[in-house]
Amino acid sequence: MVLDIFSRKVVGHEVHVAESAELASRLMRRTSLAEGLAGRPLVLHSDNGSAMKGATMLATLEQLGVAPSFSRPRVSNDNAYAESLFKTCKYRPDYPNKPFGSLEEAQAWTQKFVRWYNHDHKHSGLKFVTPAQRHCGQDAAILKLREQVYHEARKRNPQRWSQGTRNWELDDQVWLNPERIRPEALQQAA
């Protein structure tokens, strides 16, 4: 799976019987094409698996203008966004309790999950808009309307509110590990 951490949208996914640098490379090419990523400064953060560090994958990233980034050894929370996605996946009521009967079954289940996650799942980290709404820029209007509804509700029933209403604003920037960002790294990325 390829996850856009800004919107939390799964922008690319495939299921295969094995992993390889060639398959990961193909997924990145397809995702880049589908999302129109050419020429945009991007970073692909992944685990330290051989598929992600293989020569084919690294060459593809270079051709696409994508900088590779890898989790630090023995740091379990280095990619909290991916961990959160997989926890959401595993806690779905329809998550399989036994192995899939075929590759096609696994692909169909994953497709259904990704569709639900992107288009139906009101993400708590996104102030309860869907990843698809955030990805295509609909979030600001939705959250502004939601803020107005809350303010009106507070005006109508002030005794129900001990404090102000919830903050419905989302951050404009998202970082994997903000406490570790060095100014020189930002200069290189620009």
Q: What does pTM read for this prediction?
A: 0.86
User: Does residue 90 sit in helix, strand or coil?
Assistant: helix
Tokens for 54? 């293989």
Homologous superfamily assigned to 2-121: Ribonuclease H-like superfamily/Ribonuclease H (3.30.420.10)
pLDDT digits (tens, 9 = 90+) for 28-58: 999 999 999 888 888 999 888 888 999 999 9
Contacts of 42 (CB under 8 A, 6+ apart): 64, 65, 66, 67
**β-pair partners for 2:** 12
Across the chain, mean pLDDT equals 91
Decide: 70 and 54 in contact? Cβ < 8 Å. no
- How confident is residue 189, by pLDDT bands cut at 50, 70 and 90? low
- How confident is residue 61, by pLDDT bands cut at 50, 70 and 90? very high
Q: Report which residue type is found at 10.
A: V
Indicate whether 117 pLDDT > 70: yes
Which string of DSSP letters, residue by residue, matches 21-72?
Answer: HHHHHHHHHHHHHHHT-TTS-EEEEE-S-HHHHSHHHHHHHHHHTEEEEEPP
Q: If you search the block for the tokens 């330290």, which residue do you land on?
A: 48
Residue 5 CB neighbour total at 10 angstroms: 17
CA–CA distance from 87 to each of 24, 56, 91, 146 (Å)? 22, 30, 6, 27
